[in-house]
Structure 1
């Protein structure tokens, strides 16, 4: 049998552990009442969106589970005790030892094995893709792109703030005071911390391994690094502030410490337009706003956005908006 989803994997694992379901108001307790020494698994969930699993159990017999799961899942947590052996398709046999961890799974295939007598103790949060698509992104559209991460790679690292949240959730569970609304607030906090870690700290355990893609320079294919992206974003900020008198490519490359070829190719890939196109875009956007909201002459506006010759400005404006600056003003 090959399981095709995270829910199927959980059900088979619980069956192999000989656990049965015991429902409470806020959680489900899985255990074997006849053999309490085998331990337990406590599950809190918002079905289809996320799970919190707190586990402390002993394997009753040797078994393995084969999986072929197309789902995108974000999983992170802490393993306090236990070593799991697994084999991901097209990869050597690996094992996971006690530590904090973070992984984004997608189209994962392989087999996981357990041995009789092994003891496992840990806590894990699993977030489904639907939670990001249906809850997070509609309200926070600029969230980090999960596709940027290397899939099926286990980072043995979590920010300390998340580690503390996980331990707090575990403590509240043991006191039977963990509510669903509090759990969701902490899951959102974990997501916010992860986003902050990735976007505000260019050199960290996550971003050093994020796939920012490749660029072509001549006959070479070059991988963009976190520091490259940081430099390109800095160049973008400089151009945004100095659109009326932008530095040359040569000067800009020195300002952000990135060679000219990589700067030009990387900027085009990251922002989907060349540096020159971006400068024109921001100049014309500012010009259109000034034409619509002020009584400044077309000549003054052209000068404000960086054109020494009004004719050149008018030609570019018409190319972008399909109208001359004067006609654009009359239609507003």
Structure 2
């Protein structure tokens, strides 16, 4: 099963858990009243802006979910019990064990597995992009830049002040005395604490825990990747994704992201498992294949759209990529 938003993901998991929805004054309870041993999920929400979810449940059967979610989300919380196995895009299968966590998600693709009998217990706050664009930025402009964090990287860390807030919210919920105004105040406090954490120094508890590794240059030289290097490489990736039909030169791209050419080329290959040229070509050919399959545009027009001045050069590269000429490819679709 494939989901394309955090709400779809949550709904799909609840369905697999065989939980029903029970609305209360301040929160929603999800549980199976015929099988209380399966546990529950309690959700407090300002719909579309943020959620507070507190869960304690056992997986009844094995299942997997595939996700392709373009949303920008901030998620953080505490996992008290349970190990989650997941795979993000082309990265190796990873797992997440009990601890504090923080992640900024954007264009997240991959899949996650659950095993029968596994027990999960944790509390999580999810803040949606809408909260930042409609609440935070208009009232506190330039106060936070989510680009400070590496996207789709799970930091196994939360400031102790946020851990205390989460535990406090958990206690109030257990007493059925958590109201929406208090919750919103604490969500804002958490954001304020995170801002202080990442702006007081370029090297902080978030950046210090990441091991970006080294890049081998030739046979006897290593280059170390820093958090700022990774952000520059991600920015280069975004620039190429938006302008693949007229990409900047390596020299120009290097200046645009303020990273030297050698580190940019080597770091891009390490991060995305292909060279800058291969990535640009991948985008061009993928777009061309889509246009050949879904439009009646001429080969010449498609070549121009993906950045080729000469259709012969385009056809040569397309055949090299797909093993067929553009016309042969179109006939098979």
Give your verdict on TM over 0.5: yes
SS of residue paired to 1:206:
helix
Larger displacement relative to structure 2 (179-188 or 145-154): 145-154
DSSP-derived class of the 2:67 partner: strand
1:34-73 paired onto structure 2 within 5 Å: 34-73=34-73
Work out the CA distance in 1 between the residues paired with 2:18 and 2:37.
12
Q: Is the alpha carbon distance of 1:216 and 1:87 closer, same or farther for their aligned partners in structure 2, counting shifts above 3 Å?
A: closer
Tell whether the 8 Å contact from 1:63 to 1:113 is kept in structure 2 after alignment.
Answer: yes
CA distance in 1, matches of 2:175, 2:67: 35
Cα offset, 1:147, TM superposition: 2.0
Q: How does 1:104-123 map to 2 (within 5 A)?
A: 104-123=104-123
In 1, the alpha carbon distance for the partners of 2:49 and 2:40 equals: 23
Give me the whole-angstrom Cα distance separating, in 2, the residues matched to 1:69 and 1:170: 28
Contact 1:44 1:53 in 2 (8 A): yes
Q: Deviations over 1:172-223 (max 9, x none)?
A: 0000000000000000000000000001133222244544535255x65479
Superposed, which structure 2 residues align to 1:36-185 within 5 Å?
Answer: 36-185=36-185
Q: Which residue of the partner structure matches residue 7 of structure 1?
A: 7
C-alpha contact (below 8 Å) 1:215/1:221 kept by paired residues: no
Query: CA–CA distance in 2 between the matches of 1:119 and 1:107?
Result: 28
User: Residue 55 of structure 1 contacts residue 120 of structure 1 at CA under 8 Å; is this kept in 2?
Assistant: yes
- Separation in 2, partners of 1:13, 1:96: 17
- Scaled by the length of structure 1, what TM-score is found? 0.65
Q: Secondary structure at the match of 2:155?
A: coil
Structure 1 gaps of 5+ residues are 224-332
Contact 1:49/1:127, CA 8 A, preserved across alignment: yes
Matched, 1:215 2:245: no
Q: Is residue 65 of structure 2 the alignment partner of residue 22 of structure 1?
A: no
Relative to structure 1, the CA distance from residue 61 to residue 221 in structure 2 (aligned partners, 3 Å threshold; closer, same or farther) is closer
1:216-269 CA distance string (max 9 Å, x none): 55x65479xxxxxxxxxxxxxxxxxxxxxxxxxxxxxxxxxxxxxxxxxxxxxx
CA contact (8 A) 1:68 1:108 kept: yes
Q: Measure, in 1, the Cα distance between the counterparts of 2:23 and 2:64.
A: 27
| CA spacing shift, 1:221–1:78, aligned 2, 3 Å | same
Count of residues in correspondence between the two structures = 222
- Tell me the distance in 1 between the aligned counterparts of 2:63 and 2:90: 22
CA distance in 2 between partners of 1:51 and 1:107 (Å) = 20
For 2:171 and 2:194, the matched residues in 1 are separated by 22
Change over 3 Å in CA distance of 1:163–1:216 after alignment to 2:
closer
User: Contact 1:215/1:222 (CA < 8 Å) preserved in 2?
Assistant: no
The 1:207/1:9 distance shift into structure 2, 3 A limit, reads same
SS in structure 1 at match of 2:79: strand
1: distance between equivalents of 2:139 and 2:78?
29
Q: Is the 8 A contact 1:74 1:127 kept in 2?
A: yes
Tell me which structure has the larger Cα radius of gyration: 1
Shift of the alpha carbon at 1:12? Answer: 0.4
Q: Distance in 1 between matches of 2:138 and 2:57?
A: 39
TM-score (norm 2): 0.64
